[in-house]
Chains A and B, each alone.
Chain A
Amino acid sequence: MLEIPSLIWQKTKTSYIWRSLFRHGYPDSRKNQSLAVFTNVFLHLHPVKVRRHALAIPYTWCMGGLSFFLFLILTLTGTLLMFYYHPSVDGVYNAYTDIKDLETVVVFGQLLRNMHRWAAHGMVITVFLHMVRVFYTGSYKPPREFNWVIGTLLFFFTILLSYTGYLLPWDQLSFWAVTVGYEIARATPAIGDEFAFIFFGGFQLGPNALLRFYVLHVVGLPLTVGFLIAIHFWRIRKDGGITGPL
Protein backbone atom coordinates (compact mmCIF):
# COMPACT_ATOMS: atom_id res chain seq x y z
CA MET A 1 0.00 0.00 0.00
CA LEU A 2 2.78 2.42 0.95
CA GLU A 3 4.24 2.47 -2.51
CA ILE A 4 1.13 4.12 -3.95
CA PRO A 5 1.71 7.63 -2.51
CA SER A 6 5.37 7.28 -3.29
CA LEU A 7 4.49 6.34 -6.86
CA ILE A 8 2.14 9.33 -7.18
CA TRP A 9 4.87 11.61 -5.85
CA GLN A 10 7.36 10.20 -8.34
CA LYS A 11 4.84 10.59 -11.18
CA THR A 12 4.10 14.15 -10.13
CA LYS A 13 7.73 15.15 -9.90
CA THR A 14 8.54 13.82 -13.33
CA SER A 15 5.38 15.16 -14.94
CA TYR A 16 5.55 17.77 -17.66
CA ILE A 17 3.61 20.35 -15.60
CA TRP A 18 5.73 19.97 -12.46
CA ARG A 19 8.95 20.30 -14.42
CA SER A 20 7.62 23.43 -16.09
CA LEU A 21 7.12 24.92 -12.59
CA PHE A 22 10.34 23.82 -10.93
CA ARG A 23 13.46 23.41 -13.00
CA HIS A 24 15.41 21.63 -10.33
CA GLY A 25 15.10 18.67 -8.01
CA TYR A 26 14.55 18.73 -4.27
CA PRO A 27 17.17 21.07 -2.77
CA ASP A 28 19.26 18.48 -0.98
CA SER A 29 22.37 18.81 -3.11
CA ARG A 30 24.59 21.86 -3.60
CA LYS A 31 23.46 22.15 -7.19
CA ASN A 32 19.76 22.01 -6.43
CA GLN A 33 20.15 24.32 -3.43
CA SER A 34 21.77 26.87 -5.69
CA LEU A 35 19.12 26.42 -8.37
CA ALA A 36 16.34 26.73 -5.78
CA VAL A 37 17.61 30.18 -4.85
CA PHE A 38 18.44 31.71 -8.18
CA THR A 39 15.60 30.28 -10.26
CA ASN A 40 13.00 31.60 -7.80
CA VAL A 41 11.88 35.18 -8.18
CA PHE A 42 11.31 35.61 -4.44
CA LEU A 43 14.47 33.90 -3.28
CA HIS A 44 16.78 35.37 -5.89
CA LEU A 45 17.05 38.52 -3.76
CA HIS A 46 19.50 36.34 -1.89
CA PRO A 47 22.83 35.21 -3.21
CA VAL A 48 23.37 31.46 -3.37
CA LYS A 49 25.90 31.64 -0.56
CA VAL A 50 26.41 34.10 2.26
CA ARG A 51 29.24 34.62 4.68
CA ARG A 52 28.74 32.70 7.89
CA HIS A 53 29.11 35.97 9.75
CA ALA A 54 25.89 37.22 8.14
CA LEU A 55 23.92 34.43 9.83
CA ALA A 56 24.80 35.55 13.36
CA ILE A 57 21.60 36.88 14.91
CA PRO A 58 23.32 39.19 17.46
CA TYR A 59 24.92 40.95 14.52
CA THR A 60 21.73 42.18 12.80
CA TRP A 61 18.92 41.09 15.14
CA CYS A 62 17.04 40.55 11.84
CA MET A 63 15.82 44.14 12.07
CA GLY A 64 16.05 44.99 8.37
CA GLY A 65 14.35 41.77 7.32
CA LEU A 66 11.65 42.19 9.96
CA SER A 67 10.98 45.75 8.81
CA PHE A 68 10.34 44.38 5.34
CA PHE A 69 8.24 41.57 6.77
CA LEU A 70 6.10 44.07 8.69
CA PHE A 71 5.78 46.13 5.51
CA LEU A 72 4.37 43.03 3.79
CA ILE A 73 1.95 42.36 6.66
CA LEU A 74 0.87 46.02 6.57
CA THR A 75 0.28 45.80 2.83
CA LEU A 76 -1.83 42.69 3.25
CA THR A 77 -3.89 43.84 6.25
CA GLY A 78 -4.14 47.34 4.76
CA THR A 79 -5.56 46.01 1.52
CA LEU A 80 -8.14 44.02 3.44
CA LEU A 81 -9.03 47.10 5.51
CA MET A 82 -9.55 49.08 2.29
CA PHE A 83 -12.51 46.85 1.45
CA TYR A 84 -14.35 48.27 4.46
CA TYR A 85 -13.29 51.89 4.41
CA HIS A 86 -14.71 55.08 2.88
CA PRO A 87 -12.43 58.12 3.16
CA SER A 88 -15.30 60.44 3.93
CA VAL A 89 -16.01 62.64 6.94
CA ASP A 90 -19.79 62.40 7.11
CA GLY A 91 -22.67 60.88 5.22
CA VAL A 92 -24.14 57.41 5.51
CA TYR A 93 -20.83 55.72 4.74
CA ASN A 94 -18.03 57.52 6.52
CA ALA A 95 -14.63 56.74 7.94
CA TYR A 96 -15.60 56.74 11.59
CA THR A 97 -18.63 54.44 11.28
CA ASP A 98 -16.58 52.17 9.01
CA ILE A 99 -14.07 51.72 11.82
CA LYS A 100 -16.93 51.17 14.28
CA ASP A 101 -18.32 48.53 11.90
CA LEU A 102 -14.91 46.88 11.71
CA GLU A 103 -15.00 46.57 15.48
CA THR A 104 -18.56 45.34 15.81
CA VAL A 105 -19.92 43.95 12.54
CA VAL A 106 -17.09 42.68 10.32
CA VAL A 107 -15.92 39.18 11.15
CA PHE A 108 -12.38 39.45 12.57
CA GLY A 109 -12.51 43.16 11.71
CA GLN A 110 -11.20 44.20 15.11
CA LEU A 111 -8.32 41.73 14.85
CA LEU A 112 -7.51 42.99 11.36
CA ARG A 113 -7.43 46.59 12.52
CA ASN A 114 -5.37 45.72 15.61
CA MET A 115 -2.81 43.84 13.52
CA HIS A 116 -2.48 46.77 11.14
CA ARG A 117 -2.13 49.22 14.00
CA TRP A 118 0.46 47.31 16.02
CA ALA A 119 2.44 46.26 12.97
CA ALA A 120 2.65 49.94 12.00
CA HIS A 121 4.02 50.88 15.42
CA GLY A 122 6.33 47.87 15.22
CA MET A 123 7.67 48.95 11.85
CA VAL A 124 8.60 52.41 13.13
CA ILE A 125 10.58 50.69 15.89
CA THR A 126 12.26 48.04 13.72
CA VAL A 127 13.25 50.56 11.04
CA PHE A 128 14.76 52.78 13.72
CA LEU A 129 16.63 49.88 15.32
CA HIS A 130 17.81 48.72 11.91
CA MET A 131 19.24 52.17 11.30
CA VAL A 132 20.95 52.14 14.68
CA ARG A 133 22.47 48.72 13.94
CA VAL A 134 23.72 49.81 10.52
CA PHE A 135 25.31 52.88 12.03
CA TYR A 136 27.10 51.19 14.93
CA THR A 137 28.46 48.39 12.75
CA GLY A 138 29.84 50.98 10.31
CA SER A 139 27.81 49.46 7.51
CA TYR A 140 27.37 52.81 5.74
CA LYS A 141 31.03 52.86 4.76
CA PRO A 142 32.27 52.49 1.18
CA PRO A 143 30.85 51.16 -1.09
CA ARG A 144 27.50 51.44 0.74
CA GLU A 145 27.31 55.24 1.13
CA PHE A 146 24.33 55.79 -1.09
CA ASN A 147 22.40 52.88 0.32
CA TRP A 148 22.58 54.61 3.69
CA VAL A 149 21.04 57.71 2.07
CA ILE A 150 18.20 55.56 0.71
CA GLY A 151 17.84 54.11 4.20
CA THR A 152 17.38 57.53 5.78
CA LEU A 153 14.73 58.27 3.14
CA LEU A 154 13.00 55.00 4.01
CA PHE A 155 13.01 55.98 7.69
CA PHE A 156 11.43 59.32 6.81
CA PHE A 157 8.78 57.70 4.61
CA THR A 158 7.99 55.09 7.27
CA ILE A 159 7.19 57.91 9.72
CA LEU A 160 5.14 59.65 7.05
CA LEU A 161 3.21 56.45 6.25
CA SER A 162 2.44 55.95 9.90
CA TYR A 163 1.43 59.58 10.31
CA THR A 164 -0.92 59.61 7.29
CA GLY A 165 -2.53 56.39 8.52
CA TYR A 166 -3.07 57.90 11.95
CA LEU A 167 -5.72 60.33 10.63
CA LEU A 168 -7.84 57.76 8.83
CA PRO A 169 -10.13 56.62 11.71
CA TRP A 170 -11.27 60.27 11.99
CA ASP A 171 -11.81 60.11 15.75
CA GLN A 172 -10.80 62.66 18.36
CA LEU A 173 -7.43 60.99 18.90
CA SER A 174 -6.43 61.03 15.23
CA PHE A 175 -7.93 64.41 14.45
CA TRP A 176 -6.07 66.27 17.19
CA ALA A 177 -2.83 64.36 16.78
CA VAL A 178 -2.75 65.32 13.12
CA THR A 179 -3.73 68.89 14.07
CA VAL A 180 -0.46 69.09 15.99
CA GLY A 181 1.39 68.14 12.80
CA TYR A 182 -0.69 70.59 10.82
CA GLU A 183 0.30 73.44 13.14
CA ILE A 184 3.95 72.43 12.73
CA ALA A 185 3.61 72.35 8.93
CA ARG A 186 2.11 75.84 8.94
CA ALA A 187 5.08 77.07 10.92
CA THR A 188 7.49 76.12 8.11
CA PRO A 189 9.56 79.23 7.43
CA ALA A 190 8.62 81.20 4.29
CA ILE A 191 6.34 78.60 2.66
CA GLY A 192 4.31 77.44 5.68
CA ASP A 193 0.81 78.30 4.48
CA GLU A 194 1.40 77.05 0.94
CA PHE A 195 2.93 73.81 2.20
CA ALA A 196 0.08 73.18 4.63
CA PHE A 197 -2.47 74.03 1.93
CA ILE A 198 -1.01 71.51 -0.51
CA PHE A 199 -0.37 68.75 2.00
CA PHE A 200 -3.61 69.07 3.99
CA GLY A 201 -5.83 70.40 1.20
CA GLY A 202 -6.98 73.52 3.04
CA PHE A 203 -6.50 75.83 5.96
CA GLN A 204 -8.18 73.50 8.38
CA LEU A 205 -8.40 69.75 8.79
CA GLY A 206 -11.44 68.58 6.90
CA PRO A 207 -12.65 66.21 4.17
CA ASN A 208 -9.82 67.26 1.83
CA ALA A 209 -7.17 66.41 4.38
CA LEU A 210 -8.74 62.99 4.97
CA LEU A 211 -8.87 62.23 1.25
CA ARG A 212 -5.30 63.41 0.66
CA PHE A 213 -3.98 61.42 3.57
CA TYR A 214 -5.89 58.38 2.37
CA VAL A 215 -4.51 58.57 -1.16
CA LEU A 216 -0.99 59.15 0.15
CA HIS A 217 -1.36 56.34 2.66
CA VAL A 218 -2.69 53.64 0.33
CA VAL A 219 -1.09 54.57 -2.99
CA GLY A 220 1.56 57.28 -3.05
CA LEU A 221 3.70 56.40 -0.07
CA PRO A 222 3.57 52.58 -0.34
CA LEU A 223 4.63 52.83 -3.99
CA THR A 224 7.46 55.19 -3.07
CA VAL A 225 8.57 52.94 -0.24
CA GLY A 226 8.33 49.81 -2.42
CA PHE A 227 10.43 51.50 -5.08
CA LEU A 228 13.07 52.56 -2.53
CA ILE A 229 13.07 49.08 -0.95
CA ALA A 230 13.80 47.55 -4.36
CA ILE A 231 16.81 49.84 -4.83
CA HIS A 232 17.88 49.27 -1.21
CA PHE A 233 17.90 45.48 -1.60
CA TRP A 234 19.47 45.50 -5.02
CA ARG A 235 22.32 47.66 -3.78
CA ILE A 236 22.88 45.37 -0.78
CA ARG A 237 23.41 42.49 -3.23
CA LYS A 238 25.65 44.49 -5.53
CA ASP A 239 27.77 45.71 -2.63
CA GLY A 240 28.47 42.17 -1.44
CA GLY A 241 25.63 41.48 0.99
CA ILE A 242 25.59 42.14 4.70
CA THR A 243 28.73 43.72 6.07
CA GLY A 244 31.22 41.76 8.07
CA PRO A 245 34.72 42.22 9.40
CA LEU A 246 37.16 42.69 6.52
Chain B
Amino acid sequence: MTTPRGPQPFAGQEKRLRLLAFVRQDSIVRVDKRVEDTAMVWPHLLVIEFIAAMLWSIGLFVIAAAFNAPLQDHASPDCTPNPSKAPWYLLNLQELLLHMDKGLAGVVVPTIWLTFMAAIPYIDRSREGVGIWFTSPNGLRVTIFAAVFATVGTFSLILLDAFLKAHGYIEFATEHFPGGKQLLPNYLIPIGVMLGLSFLLVLIVQRLYAANTREWMMAIFTGFVAVYVVLTVVGTSLRGPGMDLFAPWAVPATHQCLEPSK
Protein backbone atom coordinates (compact mmCIF):
# COMPACT_ATOMS: atom_id res chain seq x y z
CA MET B 1 0.00 0.00 0.00
CA THR B 2 1.41 3.37 -0.98
CA THR B 3 0.80 6.29 1.35
CA PRO B 4 -0.35 9.48 -0.39
CA ARG B 5 1.95 12.46 -0.33
CA GLY B 6 1.42 15.40 2.00
CA PRO B 7 0.40 15.58 5.66
CA GLN B 8 -0.98 12.31 6.96
CA PRO B 9 -4.32 12.12 8.82
CA PHE B 10 -3.78 11.18 12.42
CA ALA B 11 -5.71 8.34 13.99
CA GLY B 12 -9.46 8.98 13.89
CA GLN B 13 -9.21 12.07 11.71
CA GLU B 14 -10.48 10.40 8.57
CA LYS B 15 -13.85 9.89 10.28
CA ARG B 16 -14.40 13.62 10.79
CA LEU B 17 -16.85 15.45 8.61
CA ARG B 18 -16.04 18.75 7.07
CA LEU B 19 -18.74 21.24 7.95
CA LEU B 20 -18.15 23.36 4.87
CA ALA B 21 -19.26 20.49 2.69
CA PHE B 22 -22.78 20.88 4.05
CA VAL B 23 -23.10 24.65 3.99
CA ARG B 24 -24.20 26.30 0.80
CA GLN B 25 -21.68 28.82 -0.44
CA ASP B 26 -24.37 31.48 -0.53
CA SER B 27 -24.77 31.74 3.21
CA ILE B 28 -21.13 32.01 4.23
CA VAL B 29 -18.32 34.25 3.12
CA ARG B 30 -18.92 35.45 -0.37
CA VAL B 31 -15.90 37.39 -1.39
CA ASP B 32 -15.75 37.83 -5.09
CA LYS B 33 -12.39 39.39 -5.40
CA ARG B 34 -9.79 39.07 -8.05
CA VAL B 35 -6.17 39.25 -7.00
CA GLU B 36 -5.42 42.45 -8.87
CA ASP B 37 -8.38 44.20 -7.23
CA THR B 38 -7.24 43.63 -3.68
CA ALA B 39 -4.88 45.32 -1.28
CA MET B 40 -3.28 44.00 1.88
CA VAL B 41 -5.03 45.27 5.02
CA TRP B 42 -1.61 45.70 6.62
CA PRO B 43 -0.47 48.34 5.72
CA HIS B 44 -2.99 49.92 3.31
CA LEU B 45 -6.23 49.89 5.31
CA LEU B 46 -4.61 50.18 8.72
CA VAL B 47 -2.77 53.34 7.68
CA ILE B 48 -6.04 54.99 6.67
CA GLU B 49 -7.70 53.93 9.92
CA PHE B 50 -4.77 55.15 11.95
CA ILE B 51 -4.69 58.56 10.25
CA ALA B 52 -8.46 58.96 10.56
CA ALA B 53 -8.30 58.08 14.26
CA MET B 54 -5.41 60.51 14.84
CA LEU B 55 -7.11 63.39 13.01
CA TRP B 56 -10.32 62.87 14.92
CA SER B 57 -8.52 62.57 18.24
CA ILE B 58 -6.71 65.83 17.62
CA GLY B 59 -9.89 67.51 16.37
CA LEU B 60 -11.87 66.36 19.39
CA PHE B 61 -9.08 67.47 21.69
CA VAL B 62 -8.98 70.94 20.15
CA ILE B 63 -12.77 71.31 20.28
CA ALA B 64 -12.84 70.08 23.88
CA ALA B 65 -10.10 72.54 24.83
CA ALA B 66 -11.82 75.46 23.08
CA PHE B 67 -15.49 74.97 23.95
CA ASN B 68 -16.87 74.14 27.36
CA ALA B 69 -19.83 71.84 27.81
CA PRO B 70 -22.79 73.88 29.08
CA LEU B 71 -23.74 73.75 32.73
CA GLN B 72 -26.58 75.84 34.13
CA ASP B 73 -27.99 76.21 37.64
CA HIS B 74 -28.98 73.25 39.76
CA ALA B 75 -32.17 71.61 38.48
CA SER B 76 -35.28 73.08 40.02
CA PRO B 77 -38.75 71.69 39.25
CA ASP B 78 -40.32 75.00 40.33
CA CYS B 79 -38.53 77.06 37.72
CA THR B 80 -39.50 76.32 34.12
CA PRO B 81 -37.30 77.89 31.46
CA ASN B 82 -39.20 79.26 28.49
CA PRO B 83 -38.75 77.59 26.06
CA SER B 84 -37.75 74.19 27.47
CA LYS B 85 -36.01 72.39 24.69
CA ALA B 86 -34.98 68.76 24.26
CA PRO B 87 -31.41 67.93 23.17
CA TRP B 88 -30.93 69.04 19.56
CA TYR B 89 -31.15 65.53 18.08
CA LEU B 90 -34.66 65.22 19.54
CA LEU B 91 -35.76 68.73 18.65
CA ASN B 92 -37.17 67.39 15.39
CA LEU B 93 -39.69 65.40 17.43
CA GLN B 94 -40.37 68.39 19.67
CA GLU B 95 -40.94 70.51 16.57
CA LEU B 96 -43.29 67.86 15.19
CA LEU B 97 -45.39 67.83 18.32
CA LEU B 98 -46.18 71.52 17.92
CA HIS B 99 -48.21 70.52 14.89
CA MET B 100 -50.15 67.47 16.09
CA ASP B 101 -51.04 65.31 19.06
CA LYS B 102 -48.13 64.62 21.41
CA GLY B 103 -48.41 60.86 21.34
CA LEU B 104 -48.74 60.85 17.57
CA ALA B 105 -45.70 63.08 16.99
CA GLY B 106 -43.47 61.78 19.77
CA VAL B 107 -44.16 58.07 19.75
CA VAL B 108 -46.33 56.78 16.90
CA VAL B 109 -44.62 58.56 13.98
CA PRO B 110 -41.04 57.75 15.07
CA THR B 111 -41.97 54.13 15.81
CA ILE B 112 -43.62 53.68 12.43
CA TRP B 113 -40.68 55.43 10.79
CA LEU B 114 -38.02 53.25 12.50
CA THR B 115 -40.01 50.13 11.60
CA PHE B 116 -40.27 51.27 8.01
CA MET B 117 -36.54 52.02 7.92
CA ALA B 118 -35.69 48.57 9.23
CA ALA B 119 -37.99 47.11 6.57
CA ILE B 120 -36.33 48.89 3.62
CA PRO B 121 -34.22 45.88 2.50
CA TYR B 122 -37.28 43.67 2.58
CA ILE B 123 -39.21 45.98 0.27
CA ASP B 124 -36.40 46.82 -2.16
CA ARG B 125 -34.87 43.39 -2.76
CA SER B 126 -33.13 44.07 -6.04
CA ARG B 127 -29.36 43.89 -6.19
CA GLU B 128 -29.21 46.77 -8.62
CA GLY B 129 -26.54 49.40 -8.02
CA VAL B 130 -24.88 47.94 -4.93
CA GLY B 131 -21.77 49.94 -4.09
CA ILE B 132 -22.58 52.90 -6.35
CA TRP B 133 -23.58 56.24 -4.87
CA PHE B 134 -27.24 56.95 -5.82
CA THR B 135 -27.25 53.81 -8.01
CA SER B 136 -27.51 55.73 -11.31
CA PRO B 137 -27.69 59.28 -12.72
CA ASN B 138 -31.48 58.92 -12.60
CA GLY B 139 -31.21 57.97 -8.92
CA LEU B 140 -29.29 61.18 -8.26
CA ARG B 141 -31.99 63.23 -10.05
CA VAL B 142 -34.70 61.54 -7.96
CA THR B 143 -32.71 62.26 -4.79
CA ILE B 144 -32.26 65.95 -5.60
CA PHE B 145 -35.93 66.33 -6.53
CA ALA B 146 -37.06 64.63 -3.31
CA ALA B 147 -34.71 66.78 -1.20
CA VAL B 148 -36.07 70.01 -2.70
CA PHE B 149 -39.67 68.78 -2.52
CA ALA B 150 -39.40 67.81 1.16
CA THR B 151 -37.43 70.89 2.24
CA VAL B 152 -39.77 73.36 0.56
CA GLY B 153 -42.83 71.37 1.65
CA THR B 154 -41.81 71.19 5.31
CA PHE B 155 -40.89 74.88 5.53
CA SER B 156 -44.16 75.85 3.85
CA LEU B 157 -46.21 73.68 6.20
CA ILE B 158 -44.48 75.15 9.26
CA LEU B 159 -45.09 78.68 7.99
CA LEU B 160 -48.70 77.86 7.09
CA ASP B 161 -49.27 76.44 10.56
CA ALA B 162 -47.81 79.56 12.19
CA PHE B 163 -49.93 81.79 9.93
CA LEU B 164 -53.16 79.90 10.59
CA LYS B 165 -52.59 79.80 14.35
CA ALA B 166 -51.91 83.54 14.36
CA HIS B 167 -55.29 84.06 12.70
CA GLY B 168 -57.46 82.18 15.18
CA TYR B 169 -57.33 78.71 13.62
CA ILE B 170 -57.59 76.89 16.96
CA GLU B 171 -60.58 78.96 18.11
CA PHE B 172 -62.25 78.40 14.75
CA ALA B 173 -61.56 74.64 14.89
CA THR B 174 -62.89 74.35 18.44
CA GLU B 175 -66.15 75.95 17.39
CA HIS B 176 -66.83 74.60 13.93
CA PHE B 177 -64.89 71.34 13.32
CA PRO B 178 -66.51 68.01 14.21
CA GLY B 179 -64.59 66.73 17.24
CA GLY B 180 -63.39 70.22 18.09
CA LYS B 181 -59.70 71.05 18.05
CA GLN B 182 -58.69 67.44 18.74
CA LEU B 183 -59.94 65.11 16.04
CA LEU B 184 -59.22 67.00 12.84
CA PRO B 185 -56.34 69.40 13.65
CA ASN B 186 -54.46 67.05 15.97
CA TYR B 187 -55.01 63.69 14.28
CA LEU B 188 -56.67 63.42 10.89
CA ILE B 189 -55.16 66.44 9.12
CA PRO B 190 -51.52 65.74 10.16
CA ILE B 191 -51.85 62.02 9.38
CA GLY B 192 -53.41 62.89 6.03
CA VAL B 193 -50.69 65.43 5.23
CA MET B 194 -47.83 63.06 6.16
CA LEU B 195 -49.21 60.08 4.26
CA GLY B 196 -50.56 62.16 1.40
CA LEU B 197 -47.31 63.99 0.70
CA SER B 198 -45.33 60.73 0.90
CA PHE B 199 -47.60 59.09 -1.65
CA LEU B 200 -47.59 62.24 -3.77
CA LEU B 201 -43.77 62.23 -3.79
CA VAL B 202 -43.68 58.60 -4.91
CA LEU B 203 -46.27 59.27 -7.60
CA ILE B 204 -44.38 62.28 -8.92
CA VAL B 205 -41.02 60.50 -9.17
CA GLN B 206 -42.71 57.55 -10.81
CA ARG B 207 -44.30 59.85 -13.39
CA LEU B 208 -41.41 62.28 -13.92
CA TYR B 209 -38.44 59.95 -13.61
CA ALA B 210 -39.99 56.52 -14.25
CA ALA B 211 -38.69 55.52 -10.83
CA ASN B 212 -38.36 51.82 -9.99
CA THR B 213 -38.58 50.42 -6.45
CA ARG B 214 -35.02 51.40 -5.55
CA GLU B 215 -35.57 54.91 -6.88
CA TRP B 216 -38.85 55.67 -5.14
CA MET B 217 -37.35 54.21 -1.99
CA MET B 218 -34.54 56.75 -2.40
CA ALA B 219 -37.16 59.48 -2.82
CA ILE B 220 -38.89 58.47 0.43
CA PHE B 221 -35.61 58.14 2.35
CA THR B 222 -34.36 61.48 1.02
CA GLY B 223 -37.67 63.04 1.97
CA PHE B 224 -37.24 61.72 5.50
CA VAL B 225 -33.67 62.99 5.79
CA ALA B 226 -34.70 66.42 4.52
CA VAL B 227 -37.71 66.65 6.86
CA TYR B 228 -35.56 65.45 9.76
CA VAL B 229 -32.91 68.09 9.06
CA VAL B 230 -35.43 70.89 8.47
CA LEU B 231 -37.34 70.08 11.68
CA THR B 232 -34.07 69.94 13.63
CA VAL B 233 -32.92 73.30 12.25
CA VAL B 234 -36.29 74.97 12.85
CA GLY B 235 -36.57 73.51 16.36
CA THR B 236 -33.00 74.45 17.24
CA SER B 237 -32.57 77.91 15.80
CA LEU B 238 -35.97 79.39 14.88
CA ARG B 239 -37.99 78.67 18.02
CA GLY B 240 -37.98 81.13 20.89
CA PRO B 241 -40.07 81.65 24.02
CA GLY B 242 -43.44 79.95 23.83
CA MET B 243 -41.96 77.89 20.96
CA ASP B 244 -42.99 80.73 18.66
CA LEU B 245 -41.33 81.15 15.29
CA PHE B 246 -38.59 83.80 15.04
CA ALA B 247 -36.07 84.85 12.44
CA PRO B 248 -32.76 83.14 13.28
CA TRP B 249 -31.05 86.43 14.15
CA ALA B 250 -33.95 87.67 16.29
CA VAL B 251 -34.61 84.74 18.61
CA PRO B 252 -34.92 86.22 22.12
CA ALA B 253 -32.89 84.69 24.94
CA THR B 254 -34.46 81.91 26.95
CA HIS B 255 -36.35 83.16 30.00
CA GLN B 256 -34.91 81.15 32.82
CA CYS B 257 -38.09 81.13 34.90
CA LEU B 258 -41.73 81.61 34.08
CA GLU B 259 -43.22 84.32 36.28
CA PRO B 260 -44.96 82.51 39.12
CA SER B 261 -48.15 84.57 38.74
CA LYS B 262 -48.91 83.19 35.25
Q: Which residues of A contact B (CB under 8 A)?
A: 27, 30, 33-34, 36-37, 43, 46-55, 57, 59, 62, 65-66, 69-70, 73, 89, 96, 99-100, 103, 110-111, 113-119, 121-122, 124, 132, 135-146, 148-149, 152-153, 156, 159, 162-163, 166, 169-181, 183-185, 187-189, 192, 204-205, 237-241, 243-246
Contacts and interface: CB of A to CB of B under 8 A. Distances in A.
B40 A49 contact: yes
A192 to B, nearest CB: 7
A240 B28 CA distance: 9
Contacts of A142: 121, 125, 127
Contact of A184 (B28, B97, B126): B97
Contacts of B57: 73
Interface string B22-42: 000011111111000111111
Interface string B1-33: 000000000000000000000000011111111
Nearest to A165: B87
B69 A181 contact: no
A59 B39 CA distance: 16
A141 B126 contact: yes
A114 B143 contact: no
A245 B132 contact: yes
Given A114-B64, A132-B225, 5 more contacts: A52-B39, A124-B89, A171-B74, A184-B106, A241-B31
A108 B223 CA distance: 43
Interface in B104-145: 105-108, 114, 117-118, 120-122, 124-135, 143
A219 to B, nearest CB: 21
B170 to A, nearest CB: 19
B69 A117 contact: yes
A170 B120 contact: no
A180 B121 contact: no
Given A46-B41, A137-B130, A176-B81, A144 B87 contact: no
B121 A148 contact: yes
B77 A204 contact: yes
A114 B69 contact: yes
Given A53-B131, A171-B74, A69 B53 contact: yes
A245 B131 contact: yes
B236 interface: no
B127 A246 contact: yes
A69 B58 CA distance: 13
B75 A174 contact: yes
B159 interface: no
A114 B28 CA distance: 43
Contacts of A148: 118, 120-121
A243 B40 contact: no
